[in-house]
Structure 1
C-alpha cells in the first residue's frame, strides 16, 4: 500500500531547509536599494534578487516598511562595527587620525554602494522618525568609538567632518584628494591639544 504524505508537511520542510531565507531577503533588499533606490525597491524585485518565492516576502515581513527598517538597521550596524574596529585598533592619537582618514577614503565609505545606501537612509531619516532612530544610533556609536582617542567635542566635530566629506565625495565630479582629508582631520584634532594647554 502506498504511503500518503500529508500536504501540510511540505512547507515546513522547505522552511527548515532554508533557514537563511530571511537574511537573504534583507541583504537582497540592500542590493536593490543600492541599484535602484528606495523608490525602486518592491516586493517583487527584492524577492527576485534574493531568489525566493514572492510569498516569502509577506511571510517574513509585515510590509515593505518593516523590511526597509530591518535592512537599513543591518547596514548601519555593519558600518558601525567596521568603524569601531578601526578605532579600537588605533593605539594613539596619530594612529587614530590615520584610522579616521582610512574610514573616509578607503574603508567604511570606500564603495559607491555604501555611499548610495547612506544617502538613501539619510533621505528617509529626514522625513521618517523610524529611520532617524537608526541614524541616531549610528551617530552615537560613531562618537563613542571616536571618544576612545578624542574628547567628546572633538569627537562630535570629527563625526560631522566624516559625514560632510563623504557627502562631498559622493556628489563631487572630481576625485577627492586624500591630502585634504588628512589636513582637515589634523586641524580639527589639533584643537584638542590647544584647548588642554
Structure 2
C-alpha cells in the first residue's frame, strides 16, 4: 500500500476505532467490541487428503486414523545430507517447546514424517531416523505408488537428483504443514527459521 492510500485510510481507521470504543463503553455485547479473528494462511487451500502408508513396525497407517487430531506433516528422506535433518530438527525443537508451554494442546498434535525415497527408506530405517529426533515423531513409508498418492494430496514435490559416491540425492519441497483436526490445512510452519518460530506458530493456531 502506498503512502497516499495510507493517508486517506487513516481517518477511517480512527473513526472505526472510536466506534468500537463507544460500543464497549456502552456495555454492548462483547462480540461487538472484538476484532475479527485472523484467518489461517492456508485456509481453503487444496492440500491434504487420503493416503495409506506403513509405520516402522509395518503397520498400515491411513490419513483418517488421525481424525480429531492436529497434524504436522513433512516430506523428506533419511539419506538427505542437510536440508531434511535441519528442517526436522527445528520442527521438533519447536514442538518440544510448544509441548513444554502447552502440554494439553501438544497432546492433540501428531508430528508426521513421510519419506519420498521409499526405495531406501524401509520401515526400520525411517523408524530409526525419526526416533533420533523425537519419540513423538511418526515416520511413514510405503511403496512408490503409495508415497506418490500422499505427495500429490499434499501438493508436495520430489524427483531423483544427481548420483553421488554414496548413492543419489533427492530434490524435494521443504514444507512442514500444520493441519487441523478435520485434516484441513492451516499454516506452513517456519522450519527454515528456528524452533522458537515454530513453537510460536503452533501456539497461534492449535486450540
- TM-score, normalising length: structure 1: 0.26
Structure having greater relative contact order (Cα 8 Å, sep ≥ 6): 2
Larger relative helix fraction: 1
Larger relative strand fraction: 2
- TM-score, normalising length: structure 2: 0.25
